Amino acid sequence: MTTPHDPAAPTSTVRPPVVDLDTWQAARDELLVREKAHTRQGDALAAARRRLPMVELDGTVEVVGPDGPVPFLELFQGRDELVVYQHMWHDGAPHQGQCEGCTTTAWHLRDAVYLNARGVSFAILTTGRWDEVAAFVEFMGYTQPWYSVRDVAAPIGGEMGYLACFLRDGDRVFLTYSTTGRGTERVNGSMGLLDLTPYGRGEAWEDKPEGWPEGDAPCWSWRSDADGIATWGPTSRPVPQWTRPGATPVGTLGRHDHH
């Protein structure tokens, strides 16, 4: 097998069968029927989400941002709805040691202007100490609102790695929806585009034709070294970090799960 870790390595010689345009169009139309059914099922699930009950929370709970402690209610910025991403954090780790999976989510939604146009605010929450978080946000060049929810109870604080939705009614705040794992993929447009390509995400779990590249572990490409080769070792950074001014080769992730 040719490992997908090296972008300079030869690609697979296996290809989809070659047919004429009419034959391709017939196969494409057949798949389109299934795609439309999938879309309609997604619409039905969204309708079910809109009918979920909700839980009232204390909107006066304080979170910490660039201006110090503020009530959670302030994150709505006067709008009625709020979406947050709860970003995992490794205390004391350098920038390259922070969560690679959460980086994919935060990087793909760097500007909430389209959400704002629909009356929805967006913020990123994390359990990191604010001084560490502020330095990381500056390095990454993020413009979304970030807040520390250290020592704040769930569902505002607590376990990270979730997308959560909240509704405001005056000074009252309600949790309406929360999802984690692959439920957060909807933010990651790159995954959706890869799913359209012949070789997909390049991950071993995918159902693929006989002879296709075997693929690697899930999310193998979320980190790379200075040469662009995917690796989860001590020389890696989350991929977008290599685009940041001042990003240099590294020799440690500086976190407890990597030695």
Tens of pLDDT, residue by residue over 125-145, are 999 999 999 999 999 999 999
169 burial level (CB within 10 Å; 0-12, 13-18, 19+): exposed
Contacts of 148 (CB under 8 A, 6+ apart): 63, 64, 65, 125, 126, 127, 128, 129, 130, 133
Residues forming a β-bridge with 125: 86, 147
pLDDT tens, 172-203? Answer: 999 999 999 999 999 999 999 999 999 999 99
Q: How many CA atoms lie within 13 A of 192 on its CB side?
A: 9
CB atoms within 10 A of CB 77: 13
Question: What is the pLDDT, as a whole number, of residue 1?
Answer: 22
Lookup result for tokens 């990123």: 124
Question: What is the pLDDT, as a whole number, of residue 144?
Answer: 96
Structural contact between residues 134 and 142, judged by C-beta atoms closer than 8 angstroms:
no
Share of the chain above pLDDT 90, in %: 92
Question: What is the pLDDT, as a whole number, of residue 258?
Answer: 56
Give the residue ranges of the chain where pLDDT is below 70: 1-12, 258-259
Measure the CA–CA gap between 195 and 166, rounded to whole angstroms: 30
234: tokens are: 């001590």
Q: For the chain, which domains are there? A: 50-185 (3.40.30.10)
Question: What is the pLDDT, as a whole number, of residue 158?
Answer: 97
The answer to whether the predicted template modeling score (pTM) of the entire model surpasses 0.85 is: yes
Question: What is the pLDDT, as a whole number, of residue 255?
Answer: 87
